[in-house]
Chain A
């Protein structure tokens, strides 16, 4: 952030406070949100480009899944072979989350209905 930008921001804040009579809390909220927006856009701009073969996610793991998947798991559908064979434990956790969610929802609904 250059000094000129900071000076401009301070002047805008002074104009908002003294001339437009905006609440000080609202100005602070606006500036905090602007700072978060700046940080997030900076992070997004630093991400690797979409579909680039040099991305860190293109390592040996997807190649192994695509080449040896049908032979190792017997499933032609590669997505299915990943979620129910290579990462079946993850899918079990997913089913557990679903079970806990429905149990909580039913407990809430039925407790409300009894009155």
Chain B
């Protein structure tokens, strides 16, 4: 697809979509949203770039190896957060009971394990969507 309007628009819009996705992931414990929805928005911006340019440009932004590492790392980090809670003396995936730093309620860096879990889930969902899209579209070319 060689359309100047689509390319220029997606190039202008993509950074704002990515900022919005990161905002939703980081504010998962404060406002509506969270890891799944924020990660979907971030992945959609990468898909938009790959759609409006071509696959090579998309893969240049996030390579297959990086996407696989991020995807596995997100799931692993989620599970390891639970084991960190065990090491700190609580149950699996405990938050306040295990003694995570809670911070002040309503601030950005607060809520202990919820912040970490939302971040890991967001990374995982974003890379999952991107990897799946790249692998589906690869057969076409």
Residues of A within 8 A of B (CB): 70-77, 79-81, 83-85, 88-89, 91-92, 95-96, 98-99, 102, 105-106, 109-110, 112-113
Contacts and interface: CB of A to CB of B under 8 A. Distances in A.
Interface in B113-129: 113-114, 117-118, 121, 124-125, 128
Interface string B102-141: 1101100011111001100100110010011001101100
A80 B92 contact: no
Given A89-B92, A99-B75, A74 B124 contact: no
B75 A74 contact: no
23 contacts: A71-B105, A72-B96, A74-B103, A74-B112, A75-B29, A75-B111, A77-B29, A79-B34, A80-B28, A81-B111, A84-B34, A84-B117, A88-B95, A91-B78, A92-B78, A95-B78, A98-B125, A99-B71, A102-B128, A105-B135, A106-B131, A106-B135, A109-B136
Contacts of A85: 93, 95, 113-114
A105 B136 CA distance: 9
Contact of B118 (A71, A73, A76, A84): A84
By secondary structure, the A interface counts as helix
Nearest to B129: A102
Interface of B: 28-32, 34-35, 71-72, 74-75, 78-79, 82, 92-93, 95-96, 102-103, 105-106, 110-114, 117-118, 121, 124-125, 128, 131-132, 135-136, 138-139
A113 B78 contact: no
Contact of B95 (A74, A110, A113): A74
